[in-house]
Amino acid sequence: MEHKKYELSESLQRMQDILDSKGEEYRKYRFIPQEGVLPEHKGYFVDCAVIASRLYFHVNDLSQLGVAKIYDIYINETKCILAENELCQKIILHGNTIIGIYTMGPEGFLNELTDVAGRLSSLPDVINTKVGRKSSPLIGNVCSLEAGYQFAVRADDGIDFFGGMLNRAESWIVKRGEDEKEPKGLFISQVVRDNLKEQYQKFFQLSSFEGVYHGYIENIGMSRWVKEQ
């Protein structure tokens, strides 16, 4: 990171340079490009998918150490689930939300990401059971899945993503947490639902958010392990 005094005159010139550009610089990429081919000060759009998972605590009497351990477990295992697919390009932690960003794959790829979301949805039950709180859960989560073109820019550590789908995917699950005491389930956009196989589409119904669907999914193997404990 470069530390440099902010000068208004230079700032205004940078703004003008962007305003005067013809727009060709804002290319659309089918795949997330390598850092070296990106313009240094210009953003671009990339066709991708986003999975967001937001953690909620059902109790507020945990010790600081207890909260730290739950955070560690949840973050580690969520990252493992998100990164399992080779098209996962970046994982972002933002407050209690963890976001995985994927280069858009071939036809049927959103079915694969729905399976990923199913594992994420089942993860709190596994953790609660593992720590001896199967009957009185400590945590839960809400997930979302969105797809389309996302604005991105070069960053010190590679690529950063800004606004757009990230905001939408996170807003659904944050609002759900405000409306329900123990929120759960998966939100998907109309675009995602239209590209799912019929077997998966039937799990989702229109939600209170316009053009957004909500449903309850789980990973069969993880749920079976919880029931056997």
Is 15 domain-assigned? no
Is 19 domain-assigned? no
Is 24 domain-assigned? no
- What pLDDT score was predicted for residue 19? 81
- What pLDDT score was predicted for residue 124? 95
Is 158 domain-assigned? yes
Q: How confident is the model at residue 220 (pLDDT cuts 50, 70, 90)?
A: very high
Is 20 domain-assigned? no
Is 219 domain-assigned? yes
Is 110 domain-assigned? yes
Quote the tokens at residue 25.
Answer: 């610089």
- What pLDDT score was predicted for residue 44? 78
Is 72 domain-assigned? yes
Dihedral, CA atoms, 38, 44, 46, 50, nearest 10 degrees? 110
- What pLDDT score was predicted for residue 3? 77
The number of angstroms, rounded, from the C-alpha of 172 to the middle of its chain's C-alpha atoms is: 11
Percent of residues, the chain, with pLDDT higher than 90: 52
pLDDT surpasses 70 at 199: yes
Q: What is the pTM of this model?
A: 0.85
CATH assignment at residue 44 = 3.30.70.1230
Task: Say how many domains are in the chain.
Answer: 1
Q: Residue 104: what residue type?
A: M
Contact (CB, 8 A) for 225 and 126: yes
Range of the domain at 193: 29-228
pLDDT surpasses 80 at 161: no
